[in-house]
Structure 1
Amino acid sequence: MIFTKIGRCALLFQLIHFFVAINAQDYACPPSNSDTPLGKLKDSVLCNYDTSVRPVANHEKAMNVSFRLVLKYFTYDPISSMLSLDAWLTVTWKDDHLTWKPEQYQNIKNLHLHTSSIWTPDLSVYNMANQGEDPEVIGSAKCLVTYKGVVLCVPPIHIDALCVADLSHYPFDTQNCSLQMGSWVHKGEELNIKLMKNVVNMDDLIHNGEWKISSYSSVRNSGKYACCPNDTYPSIEISFKVKRLSGSHAAGIVIPILADLILSFVFLSLSPLNKERLVLSYVTLLAQFIHVQFLTWQIPLKGDNIPLLLTFSRDSILMTVFAILFTLLFRDFMQRKTTPPAWISSIVSGVISCRPGQIILLSDYSTRGVASAKKEEDGTTIVSSDTNASTNNQDWVLFGNILDKILLILYVIIYFTMMIAFIP
C-alpha cells in the first residue's frame, strides 16, 4: 500500500517535470543560425520581442521620449491653408528589452535595427491637413541601439499641417503656423514627451524663394483636462513665423497702385476747366478697376479677412469716382455767368483777403479779389457798370477754385491716412 502511494507520487512528479520542460522549451530562444557575432546578437535581443508592447521593465513607469526636427525644405500654400515640411525627425528613448552585455558578443556595443522589428513611440501630428492619413510620423528607418537600451532614430518625414492664412497685410504678410505633436494613444503617465535642446534645426534648410521662416518657438502643454483629472495627455506645440518674400509682389502689385495714386494727384492738381483733367481721371479710374480685378484673381479671398491692399484699391476707386463727380460740379460753377449769392461773394472775399488765400487761389486776374485783398473795395476803384459780368464770373471761378483746393487737401489727408494703415 505504501509502495503504491510512493509510485503514484513519483509518476505525478515526472508528469509535472515533463510539462514544465515543454513550457520552458516554448519560451526559450532557439539557437541562432548566424555565424557572425552581430547576427547572434540580433537574434538574441529580438527573441520573444513584442513590437506592440511598451518596452519597460516596470509597466507603471513612464517612458521618456525626446525629439527634435532637422528641417530640410518647406512650402506654404495660402490657398489650401497648408504648411508642408520635409525634415529629419531625431527621436530617442530607452528600451528596457534591448539590452545586452557587450563582453558576451565580442564587445559589440551598438546595433542597427529596423523600425519594423522594434517598438517605436506613436508620435503623431494632431493638426494634419488630411485627417484620413496615418497620424504617426515615425515611418520606415533604421535605428541605432546601444547595449544599455538607448534607441536613436532619425527617420525622414513629410508633414502637411493646417495653417489658415491671414492676408490682411498682403504682400508684406507673416503667417503664424504651428505643429501640434504628441502620442496618439498613450497618456502622459505612460509616454512622457520631451523636447531636445534646439528643437528645430535650420542649418541645412533650403529656401524656396517665396517664403522664409523668420523665427520659431516651442511650448509643452501639460494636457490636463476636466474630463480626466487623474490622467494627462501632454503635447508639444512648435510655432513658426513664416514671412513672405515680397519683392516680386511689390513690383507687380504695389508699384501700379502708387502709379495710380500719382495720377490721381496729377489730375486733381489741374483746373476743373481743363479738359485734360477729365481725360486723366477717366484713365485713372479704368486702370484702378483693372488692377482691382487682377488683385481679386491673385489673392485668395477668405470671408471677412479682406487684405488691406484690396481695401485700399477699392476705396481709391470710390474716391476717383467722387473726384470725377466733383470735377463736373466745380466745372459747372466756374462756367456760370449769373450773379452769385451774397454768401458766395463773402466767402470769396474772405479767403482772398488773407495772404495764403492770395498765394493759393489768385492769379491776380480778379479785379474784385485784388481790391478786396488790398482793402480798396470802396466803390471808387471798381467800375461796376462795365465789369459786373466779368466780376460775377470771376467770383464763380474763385469759388470753384476754393472748393477744388479743399478737395485736394482732403484727398491728400485721406490717402496719407490710408497709406499709414496699410504699412505693416
Structure 2
Amino acid sequence: MITMLVIILTLVSLIDVTINSAIDNRSTDIKAEQRLRSDLLKDYISYKPPSADTTTVQIKFILKHFSFNEEDDNFEMSTWVFLEWQDSRLAWKPEDYSNIDETKIRSMFIWRPSCSFKNVDQLNDDANTEWVKPSAVCKLMSEGNVTCALQLYHQTNCEAKLNNWPYDTKNCTFIFIARRSVPIHSEQHHRVKFSFPPEKTALNSLTYGPGWDLIDYNSSITQINGTSIQFNFVFQRQALGFVTIVIIPSLATAAFTLCSVFLDFRCYIRIVMISFSLLIHFSLLEIMSVFLPFHEVATPFILLFNCASIIVTTCVILLTVTLNMLLRMQITSASKIVSFNESVLGTSLKYFIVPKWKVISTGETEYSINNAEIRINLASIVNSLFLYVFLVVYLILYCVLMPQPEGFKQ
C-alpha cells in the first residue's frame, strides 16, 4: 500500500514538473512581449507628438464594399484607412526581447493623429449618416514604425450618364478632408502632414455591390488649406439581363424589318410581317419604359435606336403600298421608265438587283405581259435601292446608337 502511494506521488510530481516546464517554454515569447510593452510605455507621454514641428503620416485606403441605393440614388462605400507614421520613442532592439520585431499595442496608450476623414458633401448635413470606427490596437515595428486603422462609412450622390443604358455609368466623387476630432492644446504648434501615394489604394479585397461593376478609378491629394483626398469612381451597370430583354429584341426587330423587304410586295405576307414588326417595336418601347431609371432626364441611345427603327419600318410599309400602286400604272414602250430599266438591267448593276421578281402570267396578251414586265422590273429596281438605303441606315444607327459595354480602364 505504501509502495503504491509513493509511486502515485512520484508520477504526480513528474507530471507537474513537465506541465510547468512546457508552460514556461511556451510563455517565453509572451513574457518578452509583455516586458517590451512595459518598457515602451514606461516614460511615454501619449498626448505629445513624435516630433516638435511636423509628423508625416502616410495614408493607405482599402476599399471593402460599395453599393447603390436605387431609391435615393445614393452611393454607399465602406473603407479601411491605414495611417502609418514614425515614432522614435516606440523603437527597440529585437535582440533584447527574444528577437521580437513587431508587436501590437492598444491605441489609447500611444499618440495618434487626432483627426478623421469626412466627406465634404456631408459636412453641413444635419442627418449625417457617416461614421468612423477607429481600431482598438495599433501595430508597432522595431524601427519605430506605427500603423493604426480607421473604418469609414460614407454616402454621396453620383453623376449618372444614362445615354448608354443599359450599360449606363455613374461617376461618383468623394473628397475627404482631414478634420481634427479632438482639440489637444499641446498640438497647437504641431503640424500633421499627410502623404498619399496613388498606389496606396487597394481594390483586391473589394466586394462588389449587386448590379454594378467598377470600371475606372483615380485618386489625388491636395495640401492647400489642409489635406483633402479626392477619389473618382466610375461604375457600370451589370446589363446581362437587360441585354436579353432590350438589346437582342431591338436587333431582332431591325433584322425582321430588313428581311421583310426581300418578300414579294404583291403578296399579303409582306404587309403582315411589316405590321407585326411595327407592333413589336411599340411593345419594346413599353417594356423599356418599365426598366428605365426614373431619376435621370437623359435619353438612352437604345430608345432613339428603336424610334429610328420605327421610322424605317413605317417607310417599308409606305414603300410596299407605293410599289403596289406602281404595278397598276399603264406604261408605254417609249416612256422614260423603259429607258431607265434598260440602263440599269443592261449593265453590271443588274447583279445588285436583289430580289428581282418575275411576271406572273395569267393568260393575258403579249402586250399586257410586256407592260407588266416593265412595271415589275421598275419595282425590283426601286425595292433594291431602298433595301440598300435601309441597310446603310441600320448600320449607322448600330454604330452610333447601339449601347456598348466599357472595359476596366486601369
Q: Deviations over 1:211-231 (max 9, x none)?
A: 2324433222343xxxxxxxx
Indicate conservation of the 8 Å contact 1:129/1:161, yes or no.
Answer: no
Tell me which residue corresponds to 2:165.
170
From the CA coordinates, give the structure whose radius of gyration is larger.
1
8 Å contact kept, 1:124–1:135: no
Secondary structure of the corresponding residue to residue 244 of structure 2: helix
- Structure 1 unpaired stretches of 5+: 1-35, 224-231, 368-384
Q: Which residue of 2 aligns with 1:12?
A: none
**Is contact 2:327–2:376 with CA below 8 Å preserved after alignment?**
yes
- The equivalent residue for 2:326 is 333
1:366-397 deviation digits (Å, cap 9, x = unpaired): 99xxxxxxxxxxxxxxxxx9544433333333
1:277 is aligned with what amino acid? R
Give the match's secondary structure for 1:273. coil
Change (3 A) 1:39 1:185: closer
Paired position in structure 2 for 1:112: 106
What is the rounded CA distance, in whole Å, between the counterparts of 1:328 and 1:322 in structure 2?
10
Which of 340, 345, 354 is the aligned partner of 1:347?
Answer: 340
Give the AA of the match of 1:349: E
2:67, 2:210 within 8 Å by CA — same for their partners in 1? no
* Equivalent residue number for residue 160 of structure 1: 155
The 3 A distance-change label for structure 1 pair 270 and 264 is same
| Pairs within 5 Å for 1:163-242 | 163-184=158-179, 190-195=191-196, 198-208=199-209, 210-223=211-224, 232-242=225-235
3-state SS of 1:139 partner: strand
- Written as runs of structure 1 = structure 2, the 5 A alignment for 1:397-408 is 397-408=376-387
How far residue 251 of structure 1 moved from its aligned partner, in angstroms, is 2.0
Which whole-Å CA distance do the structure 1 matches of 2:337 and 2:297 have between them?
Answer: 45
Alignment of 1:50-65 (within 5 A): 58=52, 61-65=53-57
Residue of 242, 246, 249 corresponding to 2:239: 246
Q: Give the TM-score normalised by structure 2.
A: 0.70
TM-aligned CA deviation for residue 398 of structure 1: 2.5
Q: Does 1:271 align with 2:261?
A: no
Task: Tell me the equivalent position of 2:14.
Answer: none
Separation (CA, whole Å) in 2 of partners of 1:400 and 1:407:
11
- Cα 1:391/1:101, change in 2 over 3 Å: closer
Distance 2:365 2:278 in 1: 44
Matched residue, 2:58: 66
Query: CA offsets, 1:189-231, max 9 Å, x none?
Result: 94423225732223333344532324433222343xxxxxxxx
> Per-residue displacement from partner, 1:28-72 (whole Å, max 9, x unpaired)?
xxxxxxxx998999898678x5xxxx95764xx344333222222
- CA distance in structure 2 between the aligned counterparts of 1:89 and 1:112, rounded to whole angstroms: 17
Residue 22 of structure 1 is matched in structure 2 by: none
Q: Give the distance between the partners of 2:108 and 2:320, measured in 1 at CA.
A: 79
Question: Is the alpha carbon distance of 1:363 and 1:85 closer, same or farther for their aligned partners in structure 2, counting shifts above 3 Å?
Answer: same
Q: Judging changes above 3 Å, is the alpha-carbon distance between structure 1 residues 197 and 392 closer, same or farther for their aligned structure 2 residues? A: closer
Confirm whether residue 123 of structure 1 aligns to residue 117 of structure 2: yes
Q: Aligned residue for 1:90?
A: 82
**Matches of 1:109 and 1:262, distance apart in 2:** 68
Cα distance in 1 for residues equivalent to 2:65 and 2:301: 30
Contact 1:71 1:201 in 2 (8 A): yes
**Cα distance change on mapping 1:130 and 1:386 into 2, 3 Å:** farther
Q: Match for residue 277 of structure 2?
A: 284
Letter in 1 for 2:162: L
Q: For residues 130 and 180 of structure 2, what CA distance do their matches in structure 1 show?
A: 11
Partner of 1:396: 375
Cα distance change of structure 1 residues 63 and 133 upon mapping to structure 2, 3 Å threshold: farther
Kept in 2: contact 1:173–1:244 (CA 8 A)? yes
- CA separation of 1:282 and 1:184: change in aligned 2, threshold 3 A: farther
Q: What CA deviation, in whole Å up to 9, does each residue of 1:69-117 have, x standing for no partner?
A: 2222222456744332223222245689xx68999xx9898531359x9
Aligned partner letter, 1:219: S
Q: Which residue pairs with 2:132 in the alignment?
A: 138
**SS of the residue aligned with 1:154?**
strand
SS of 2:196's equivalent in the other structure is strand
Indicate how the Cα distance of structure 1 residues 70 and 118 shifts in structure 2: closer, same or farther if over 3 A, else same. closer
Distance 1:148 1:318 in 2: 74
The question of whether the paired residues in 2 share the 8 Å contact of 1:128 and 1:162 is answered with no
- 1:180/1:236 contact within 8 Å kept: yes
Query: Is the 8 Å Cα contact of residues 92 and 144 (structure 2) preserved in structure 1?
Result: no
Give the secondary-structure state (helix, strand or coil) at the position aligned to 1:249.
helix
Unaligned regions of 5+ residues in structure 2, if any? 1-33, 182-189, 405-410
Give the partner amino acid of 1:69: F
1:271-294 CA-partner distances (Å, limit 9, x unpaired): 222211111111111111111122
Instruction: Name the aligned partner's letter for residue 80 of structure 2.
Output: W
Give the letter aligned to residue 79 of structure 2: A
1:317 aligns with 2:315: no
Deviation at 1:264, TM superposition (A): 0.8
Q: Deviations over 1:113-133 (max 9, x none)?
A: 359x97631321224599445
SS state of the match for residue 205, structure 2? coil
Q: Are residues 304 and 405 of structure 1, via their aligned partners in 2, closer, same or farther at CA, if it must alter by over 3 Å?
A: farther
2:404 corresponds to 1:412: no
Q: What SS is found at the alignment partner of 2:329? A: coil
Quote the Cα distance in structure 2 between the aligned partners of 1:162 and 1:129: 14
RMSD, aligned CA: 4.3
SS at match of 2:115: coil
C-alpha distance in structure 1 between counterparts of 2:123 and 2:51, whole Å: 37
